[in-house]
Amino acid sequence: MDEHVARASGANDAGPAPGVRTRDAMSRIMPAFALFVGIVVVWEAASRIFKLPAFVLPPPSAIVGVLVARQRDLGYAAWITAQEIVSGFLLSGVAGAAVALIIARFATFGRALYPLVVLFQNVPKVALAPLFILWFGFDLAPKVVLIVVIAFFPVAINMLVGLQTVDANLIALMRSVGATRNEILWRIQIPNSLPYLMAGLKVAITLAVIGAIVGEFAGAQAGLGYMIQFASTQMQTSLVFAALVEVSVLGMLFYYAIEWIERRYIDWMPHAA
Amino acid sequence: MNAPPHILARGVCVDFTVAGRVTRVLNDVSLSVPKGGFVSLIGPSGCGKSTLLKVLAGLLPPTAGDVSVAGVTPIEAVRQRRIGIVFQEATLLPWKNALDNVALLMEVAHAGRGNDEIRGRASDMLRLVGLERAAEKRPAQLSGGMRQRVSIARALALDPEVLMMDEPFGALDAITREEMSDFLLGIWERTKKTIVLVTHSIDEAAFLSREVHVMASNPARIIEALPIGLPYPRNEESYAAPEFARATARLRRLLKEGHRQAIAA
């Protein structure tokens, strides 16, 4: 809430000077950055002092070396995996929002659909990966399907909460002036649900990364997950870590892209710190 | 007082059924409010004053009894946009600025009218409640009192004859409350609306109203309709007037008696 109030007054006072804002951002990421550097230094030192074999735990310097030396292979694998993540994520968003809208708008059908959605949520979907490979082949399609079945649920549930937590008095006011259900949905429920939708999408993007990697484990010819599996059978542990670094960077990029969109366009809800 | 009543309720009862048990939340309530009147409903929590307001505002059908607002049923009066409602919470849309919040109900009710006409009316309403300079601000940038003013502007935008207010200042601090009381009297004097106000506050009821209906619970009913003889316009001096002291003392006694009976029952 504090941040929201600060933002709100910032809009009045034309905001702090750019220099101040940069310094603020710096002081906010400094602790995380320092901790990260610390961990890397300890890791590097430990692997040198205890002379750990590189195929068990390679030192960060070796991982960086592989990141540079194999950047073409890694870049291509990341490109493949990124396509899976983005298309799976977008479809999850569409499917999740559609399920939420259907349940909220059509009460009877919603009562039929909701328990089935929850039931389906309790199937361990990772176990479906081999089936999807069998049905949809080794390329993009089975990964996208796997991501959607894993990631649509948090989108649907969050958006549904947003559609349903509308002030009853406000609905009464809208009804009193003759608003139809569709008008109430468009003017009130959907805008009200957008912050909740964004929260669901942030969960969905992390699940989409997991889905893409698991999907590649189950059967693939390219991608970072495929590379991790292939490299580990070859005892190329540095390459495994290099691929892991790229997966993490991809995941973070997507996550913060969504957060940026949220801050840019949905500025009426307080943001989590 | 010889004009036909603007709001008339006779023998109104409301029963709620919770888990198969029928509870009477309003028992045989009658009241009448003349056109342009200012009436408060006061009573302890759970005495059914908000329920009575909902019945008068057409939000809740009574189990028994007759209600008319401007000669028609409350539901018909709502349909004819004769009733404006203000709740304890301002219930504004956080993503819309003050002007767009005021325009919201008009956009639905007057779908045929042009955007300029609706905006024009909305900004007139903001001027009426003294918020013309806050038109572009979102609810989060407004104080509690300002938000409630926006909510009142939204209700007035449809030009209702009656304003039904359910503890509109209940969530505000004491000083803002008094400011809002002055503000509401000003609005009432300028617009000549009929106002029904639900409140917890004895001073607020006595300061604002022409008549205060005191309610008691178990069973929920009106125990007395007390006319307040203070002349309008009322201001800070009114709080010191002997008539104000007499009225608030009487209200306190009635509320305590109602409370004792409720405990004894």
pLDDT in the model for residue B18: 85
- Does the pLDDT of residue B253 top 70, yes or no? yes
- Does the pLDDT of residue B39 top 80, yes or no? yes
B204: buried, middle or exposed (CB in 10 Å: 19+, 13-18, 0-12)? buried
pLDDT in the model for residue A1: 36
- Does the pLDDT of residue A15 top 60, yes or no? no
pLDDT digits (tens, 9 = 90+) for B79-135: 899 999 999 999 999 999 999 999 999 999 988 889 999 999 999 999 999 999 999
Asked if A11 reaches chain B (Cβ–Cβ under 8 Å), the answer is yes
Of A157-161, A238-242, B171-175, least confident by mean pLDDT is B171-175
Q: Can you read off the two tokens belonging to residue B144?
A: 């509690």
Of A146-150, B1-5, B53-57, B122-126, least confident by mean pLDDT is B1-5
Of B91, B109, B141, the CB nearest to A170: B91
Q: Bigger pLDDT: A257 or B47?
A: A257
Q: Give the residue extent of every domain in chain B.
A: 5-82+160-264, 92-159
Residues on B contacting A at a C-beta cutoff of 8 Å: 58-59, 78-79, 81, 83, 85, 87, 89, 91, 93-95, 104-105, 107-109, 138, 140-141, 158
Average pLDDT, chain A: 88
Q: Give the residue extent of every domain in chain A.
A: 17-51, 64-265
pLDDT in the model for residue A9: 37
Which of chain A's residues have a Cβ under 8 Å away from the Cβ of B170?
Answer: none
Q: Which CATH class name applies to B5-82+160-264? A: alpha beta
How close is the nearest chain A Cα to the Cα of B237, in Å? 36
- Does the pLDDT of residue A7 top 50, yes or no? no
Provide mean pLDDT across the span B199-217: 94
Which of chain B's residues have a Cβ under 8 Å away from the Cβ of A197?
Answer: none
Amino acid at the residue A33: F
pLDDT digits (tens, 9 = 90+) for A90-119: 999 999 999 999 999 998 988 898 899 889
- Does the pLDDT of residue A5 top 50, yes or no? no
- Among A33, A140, A4, A167, which residue's Cα sits nearest to residue A79? A140
Contact flag B85-A173 (C-beta cutoff 8 Å): yes
A75 vs A204: CA distance, rounded Å: 24
- Does the pLDDT of residue B161 top 90, yes or no? yes
Q: Which helix (H) or strand (E) holds A254?
A: helix A237-265
pLDDT in the model for residue A29: 86
- Does the pLDDT of residue B53 top 70, yes or no? yes
pLDDT in the model for residue A273: 35
Please count the residue pairs, one from chain A and one from chain B, whose beta carbons lie less than 8 angstroms apart.
50
Q: Which of B108, B154, B159, B164 to mutate to test the interface with A (most CBs of A within 10 A)?
A: B108
pLDDT digits (tens, 9 = 90+) for B225-239: 999 999 999 999 999
User: What DSSP assignment string belongs to chain B?
Assistant: --SPEEEEEEEEEEEEEETTEEEEEEEEEEEEEETT-EEEEE--TTSSHHHHHHHHTTSS--SEEEEEETTB-HHHHHHTT-EEEE-SS----TTS-HHHHHHHHHHHHTTTS-HHHHHHHHHHHHHHTT-GGGTT--GGGS-HHHHHHHHHHHHHHT--SEEEEESTTTTS-HHHHHHHHHHHHHHHHHH--EEEEEES-HHHHHHH-SEEEEEETTTTEEEEEEE--PPSSP-GGGGGSHHHHHHHHHHHHHHHHHHHHHHH-
pLDDT in the model for residue A20: 65
Domain A64-265 fold: MetI-like fold (1.10.3720)
Q: At A13, is the pLDDT very low, low, confident or very high (cuts 50, 70, 90)? A: very low
Contact flag B141-A188 (C-beta cutoff 8 Å): no
Provide mean pLDDT across the span A229-254: 95
B5 vs A233: CA distance, rounded Å: 89
Q: At A270, is the pLDDT very low, low, confident or very high (cuts 50, 70, 90)? A: low
Provide mean pLDDT across the span B39-66: 92
How close is the nearest chain A Cα to the Cα of B93, in Å? 8
pLDDT in the model for residue A10: 35
Provide mean pLDDT across the span A58-78: 95
How close is the nearest chain B Cα to the Cα of A95, in Å? 25
pLDDT digits (tens, 9 = 90+) for A31-63: 999 999 999 999 999 999 998 888 889 999 999
Q: Can you read off the two tokens belonging to residue A210?
A: 């997991």
